[in-house]
Amino acid sequence: MSRPEIMTGCLVTAMLSAAVGAAAAPADVAAALRQLAGGPTRVVWCRQVAGEGGDPFATNAWYSLMAFDTEAGGERVLLPGPRSIRKPLLSPDGQWVVFTDYLRGRVMAVPFAGGEPRDLADGHAADVWADPANGQLWVVAIRGPLQSEAFLGSPVVRFSLDRPAENRVVWTKTPVSVDNFQLTPDGTRAAALAPWPTAAWIEVPDGVMKRVGRGCWTSCSPDDSRHMWIFDGAHRNLLVLSLRDDRRWTVPVNTAPGMQGAEVYHPRWGRPAQLFALTGPYLSGHGSIRIHFGGPRVEVFVGRLSPDFTRVEGWVQITHNETADYFPDVWSSGGGASRPADAPATHASPPATAPARVRRSVEARVVALTRTPTAAEIRPYEHALVAYEYEVIRTLDGPPLEGRILVLHWGVRNRKPVAPRRRLGETVHLAIEPYEAHPELEGERVVMDMPDEGRPQFVEVPL
């Protein structure tokens, strides 16, 4: 969830005031991306070029493979479609793109420079890893059919990009999600959903598994810092974990101009460690859940994290079109850009202790409601919290609170609607505590029809 104490920095982009869908000169975007990353940078993703409706999970043969190179003219089509292309991944040296032909269940690869795709092996690509001892490239893949809406499978293996028949076992103890498995640079550990929604830090091959939270889209930093993240149930924020000293904090990632405070998706930690990529905003469709609709306004964004990973220092919007773009990955040979002159100074690292459950009692007016989703809309989740917006009239008990706040209420429990009955303009008496002080809610689906805009967020508790 968004937190007022962790605010997003400046936007580094060629289109500072452009709305999503506006055209941008490739040279401008390339220059902005090069500045953001501190050097030559490459991005890959899949673009929907056929089919009706959204397909943000890329399970149909509707895609072209896209590439962006700051040094070679910006955006280009690497493999024309429509064809089955899912989750393209850049190799650690930036020279190869590995992806999955989802309909055939085959791992494919193509040089970033272009050429014919190579059909490598059965499975679904999850990561590409370089052996630090010799630089050999290995593809991490899940074998066997994927199950459920969380795209779970087992076993996890790795095979040589040059010699696909050369296999090694990575993980067999639990099913894992193919979209949420990433190895550390030394290849001894991985961030994973094992299985969804259990976020885990695992030792490989088949070593100890440490459960660290709940959520989705787990990823780990491509350096030796031992950081990983979990994407939150609101699809707006990253919960970043420092596994060396058991600290955790939240970083909003729906803050670039054009995102409109909406949901975002497909977060992927890039290389070097300050870079990441994602897609958004998700505005098409109807109701409170928009991820499943995808839509033509979904664009690719690259962000740069501060050196201590506590906030986003800058953004570049890579695509500007009326076509859906999904599953981005980013790579740069730059060592990280210097902080822009107008960017705020990096915040100190968050405290190791969780926030206290400070209880407040307030009188507040209802100013906005979120429609309670149906059980089908929140699948594969069983529960969901819904956000209501309130204007605080007065604090009755506890530390003073003013202005507008977002309060999360249970909207769905065990696939049944349970949201409180509230009317716009109604004045209510609420007991609330900070959302971030309730780690047991971590990873639960959070639905909101209004932008969060960095406002304080609370959970209603019994009076």
Quick one: 328 and 372 in the same domain?
A: no
- Residue 28 host element (H or E): helix 26-37
Whether residue 339 lies inside any domain: the answer is no
Quick one: 289 and 389 in the same domain?
A: no
Nearest to 192 by CA among 184, 207, 182, 205: 182
Quick one: 311 and 370 in the same domain?
A: no
Quick one: 137 and 78 in the same domain?
A: yes
Summarize pLDDT for 58-101 with one digit per residue, the tens: 999 999 999 999 999 889 999 999 999 999 999 999 999 999 99
- Domain end call among 313, 332, 351: 332
Retrieve residue 362's tokens: 């307030």
Cα-Cα-Cα-Cα dihedral sign, residues 51, 53, 56, 60: negative
Q: Which residue has the tokens 């939150």?
A: 232
Quick one: 50 and 152 in the same domain?
A: yes
Whether residue 20 lies inside any domain: the answer is no
Summarize pLDDT for 156-169 with one digit per residue, the tens: 999 999 999 989 99
DSSP-derived letter for residue 278 is E
Would you say residue 258 has pLDDT above 90? no
Total structural domains within the chain: 2
Would you say residue 176 has pLDDT above 70? yes
**166-194 mean pLDDT:** 96
b/e sequence 301-326, b meaning 16+ C-beta within 10 Å: bbbbbbebbbbbbbbbbbbbbeebbb
At residue 107, the pLDDT reads: 98
Whether residue 112 lies inside any domain: the answer is yes
The per-residue pLDDT of the chain, averaged, comes to: 88
Retrieve residue 414's tokens: 């065990």
Quick one: 430 and 321 in the same domain?
A: no
At residue 187, the pLDDT reads: 96
Quick one: 448 and 299 in the same domain?
A: no
**244-260 mean pLDDT:** 90
Q: Cα–Cα distance between 179 and 219 in angstroms, integer?
A: 9
Quick one: 256 and 377 in the same domain?
A: no
Whether residue 176 lies inside any domain: the answer is yes
Q: 112 in the Ramachandran plot: left (φ > 0), alpha (ψ -120 to 50) or beta?
A: alpha
Give the CATH number of the domain where residue 126 resides: 2.120.10.30
The angle formed by the CA atoms of residues 399, 402 and 404, to the nearest 5 degrees, is 130
Whether residue 419 lies inside any domain: the answer is yes
Would you say residue 19 has pLDDT above 60? no
Quick one: 75 and 187 in the same domain?
A: yes
Domain of residue 218, residue span? 26-332
The angle formed by the CA atoms of residues 62, 332 and 78, to the nearest 5 degrees, is 30
Quick one: 287 and 394 in the same domain?
A: no
Quick one: 52 and 172 in the same domain?
A: yes
Summarize pLDDT for 269-321 with one digit per residue, the tens: 999 999 999 999 998 766 556 677 677 889 999 999 999 999 999 999 999 99
Cα-Cα-Cα-Cα dihedral sign, residues 390, 310, 209, 331: positive
Whether residue 139 lies inside any domain: the answer is yes
Whether residue 12 lies inside any domain: the answer is no
CB-CB contact of 389 with 428 (8 Å): no
Tell me the CA distances in angstroms from 327 to 41, 243, 278, one per residue in order: 17, 26, 7
Quick one: 223 and 259 in the same domain?
A: yes
At residue 271, the pLDDT reads: 96
Retrieve residue 452's tokens: 């969060």
Amino acid in the structure at residue 435: Y
195 cis-preceded (ω within 30 degrees of 0): yes
Whether residue 352 lies inside any domain: the answer is no
Amino acid in the structure at residue 235: H
